[in-house]
């Protein structure tokens, strides 16, 4: 599920104090995991566990991008206000084509209404386009249809899941 934390429809787009950038290993100390826990189960990770996961993902290079929105004026452990992920799937279809998958979009409950989630999603879509993807897809609840429509997404089908 790409997001369960939408911002209001009237969200302001501009928020110059907040920088959108790639995840860094130091973001563990800036509230990245507690932000993710607002989306789904996200147990705390030790610095070593975090580094292991970070390095596994970094090894995927541009096929796996995590963006964060950082507010440098916030308390150190509360600086990461939004995040989102793009991973690139490679296929035989479409002449060895690539598809971008947007996952794990979340905006801190106290930072909603500032357009930060939309800024993250739009940048992820740009990155996918620059990487040569022929499309970007995501899964969400029906309530978020209008939210993602602001980023150019249209409804294409249903998502199904098996949980173990």
Rounded Cα gap, residues 44 and 34, in angstroms? 8
- Tell me which of 24, 62, 77, 155 binds its own copies, using CB under 8 A: 155
Name which of 15 and 139 has its Cβ closer to its own copies.
139
Direct distance between the N- and C-terminal alpha carbons of the chain, in angstroms, rounded to an integer = 16
33: burial class by Cβ within 10 Å (0-12, 13-18, 19+)? middle
Q: Is 49 in the site for its own copies (CB under 8 A)?
A: yes
Q: Residue 43, SS3?
A: coil
Question: Whose Cβ is closer to its own copies: residue 29's or residue 137's?
Answer: 137
**Binding residues among 2-31 for its own copies as defined by CB under 8 A:** none
Cβ closest to its own copies, residue 10 vs residue 164: 164
Q: Residue 149 contacts by C-beta under 8 Å, 6 or more apart in sequence?
A: none
Per CB under 8 A, 154 contacts its own copies? yes
Stretch 112-131 residues interacting with its own copies (CB under 8 A): 125, 129
DSSP 40: S
Give the separation between CA 88 and CA 129, rounded to whole angstroms: 11
Binding pattern for the stretch 67-106 against its own copies, x by CB under 8 A and - elsewhere: ------------------x-x-xxxxxxxx----x-xx--
- Give the C-alpha separation, 53 to 55, whole Å: 5
Integer Cα distance of 55 and 150 in angstroms: 33
Among 15, 29, 57, 78, binds its own copies (CB under 8 A): 57
Smallest gap from Cβ 68 to its own copies, in A, equals 11
Using the minimum distance from each CB to its own copies, give the nearer residue, 73 or 164. 164
């Amino acid at each position: 599920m790409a997001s369960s934390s939408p911002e209001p429809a009237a969200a302001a787009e501009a928020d110059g104090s907040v920088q959108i950038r790639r995840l860094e290993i130091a973001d563990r100390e800036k509230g990245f995991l507690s932000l993710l826990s607002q989306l789904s189960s996200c147990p705390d990770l030790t610095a070593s566990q975090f580094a292991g996961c970070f390095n596994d993902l970094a090894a995927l290079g541009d096929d796996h991008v995590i963006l964060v929105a950082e507010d440098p004026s916030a308390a150190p452990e509360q600086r990461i206000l939004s995040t989102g992920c793009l991973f690139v799937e490679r296929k035989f279809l479409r002449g060895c084509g690539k598809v971008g998958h947007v996952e794990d979009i979340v905006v801190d409950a106290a930072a909603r209404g500032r357009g930060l989630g939309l800024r993250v999603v739009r940048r992820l879509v740009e990155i996918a386009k620059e990487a040569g993807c022929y499309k970007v897809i995501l899964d969400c609840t029906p309530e978020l249809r209008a939210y993602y429509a602001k980023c150019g997404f249209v409804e294409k089908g249903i998502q199904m899941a098996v949980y173990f």
